Amino acid sequence: MSVKHTVKIITLGSALFFSAPVIFGMAAYAGQNPQTQNQFSQNNGHTVPMNTPSPNQLPLNVPKQQLGMMNAQQAKQIALQHAGFHDNQISSLRIEQEMDDGRMEFEVDFKSGDYDYEYKINGNTGQILFHSFEKRRLNLLGVFKSSTPDNLIQSDYAVQTALNHAGLKQQDVVMGKFSYDFDDGEHIYEIGFYKNYIEYQYEIDAETGEIYKCEVDYHI
């Protein structure tokens, strides 16, 4: 059984403050409200965050002899460097330090533009164990979409969109989950595949091809 003990870290400006240990799952947020605009690039003709790293990169590894035991500031910098952001481009930064089966880990969460980012980092080596981004989607206008539209993109096109974003070819991966879902008025393709020890999961808008969510889990 995985045993986790968590220390929450509250961020105030550029300073980091540790509080008493808390039960895993509790979090502290402090919005920074940067005056920036999120930038975008085109992937297969569809919009994705420009600062989203290609997930086929190996986890960033900082030599242990240079770090000793990492601190929250170092974990934050590893996450931001990998995502391609500076401090003034993010908000709602949250950092949690936890022990998971004897290994210290940092979870770093933040927002930028319409996207939420999450990182898990080995607290001893600086290696990224997991990272993801997800677009926040709110149907504020209450627009109803038909559950059986005629304009869904082809499933092969959705798979290729995910592979292109990952920087991989289909012959190089083991395909896993593929499903279609109509949820909260949106048509979503859910796609999963593996490359060696790395697991990729995507959620893609089945009407536009936009990448809503990407998770990369390094099973190491």
Average pLDDT per 10 consecutive residues for the chain, totaling 220 residues:
50 42 28 32 46 51 53 96 96 94 92 96 94 83 64 94 96 95 88 96 95 94
Token pair, residue 140, equals: 């504020």
Q: What pLDDT, on the 0 to 100 scale, is given for residue 26?
A: 26
Q: What pLDDT, on the 0 to 100 scale, is given for residue 80?
A: 97
Q: What pLDDT, on the 0 to 100 scale, is given for residue 103?
A: 87
What is the pTM assigned to this prediction? 0.72
For 109-134, b/e burial (b = at least 16 CB within 10 A) is bbbbbebbbbbbbbbebbbbbbbbbb
Q: What pLDDT, on the 0 to 100 scale, is given for residue 152?
A: 92
Q: What pLDDT, on the 0 to 100 scale, is given for residue 82?
A: 95
Q: What pLDDT, on the 0 to 100 scale, is given for residue 100?
A: 84
Q: Where are the domains of the chain?
A: 4-135, 155-218
How far apart (Å, rounded) are the C-alpha atoms in residues 207 and 194?
A: 25
Contact predicate 118/140, CB 8 Å: no
Q: What pLDDT, on the 0 to 100 scale, is given for residue 119?
A: 98
Identify the CA nearest to 118 among candidates 216, 219, 198, 9.
Answer: 216
Q: What pLDDT, on the 0 to 100 scale, is given for residue 139?
A: 59
Residue type, position 22, single letter: V
Q: Which CATH number fits domain 155-218: 3.10.450.40, 3.30.830.10, 3.40.50.300, 3.40.50.720?
A: 3.10.450.40
